[in-house]
Amino acid sequence: MDVLTASQRSFCMSRISGSNTKPEIRLRKSLWRLGYRYRLKSDLIGKPDFIFVTPQVAVFVDGCFWHKCPKHFVVPKTRTEFWMKKINKNCERDRQVSQELKQSGWRVLRIWEHEIKENLPACVERVEALLSQ
């Protein structure tokens, strides 16, 4: 059972950021320091976290809970049906967005938030590898 009222829970959920998360900022700052320039805003489907226009690379930093990370995702103990429906819908949308972007000529890179926390240099290398193709 939830210990918060509906309005308190609503307020807490409204504070969860969909962009400019700490892992995303860490990755962007590392790439910027290396001289890579990107755009944060685009009209692309799925609203990538940032894009590289000329090489057509779209980067998504996916949260472990919201996008069902195979390593860290834990099924919620309360309101399980509601959350699983929402999270599974997120995962399906991720697949569709990636597919549509690829069909439009974009290369898509999805990085889990835990990957950035555990090994930021490896994530930077993955971005660099895709940019150099």
Q: What CATH number is given to the structural domain containing 55?
A: 3.40.960.10
Residue type, 105: G
In a domain, 6, yes or no: no
In a domain, 9, yes or no: no
* pLDDT at res. 1: 61
| Over residues 91-97, mean pLDDT | 97
- Is the pLDDT at 23 greater than 80? The verdict is yes
In a domain, 82, yes or no: yes
Pairing, β 107-112 against β 57-62: parallel
Sign (positive/negative) of CA torsion 109, 113, 114, 115?
positive
Distance CA 67, CA 115 (A): 14
pLDDT tier at 17 (50, 70, 90 boundaries)?
low
Domain limits at 98?
A: 20-131
- Is the pLDDT at 66 greater than 90? The verdict is no
In a domain, 98, yes or no: yes
In a domain, 2, yes or no: no
The per-residue pLDDT for range 69-85, each reduced to its tens digit, is: 999 898 988 889 988 99
| Over residues 94-123, mean pLDDT | 97
* pLDDT at res. 129: 96
* pLDDT at res. 18: 65
pTM of the model: 0.86
- Is the pLDDT at 52 greater than 90? The verdict is yes
For the chain, the domain total comes to 1
In a domain, 92, yes or no: yes
In a domain, 13, yes or no: no
Distance CA 113, CA 11 (A): 24
Contact 106, 82 (CB under 8 A): no
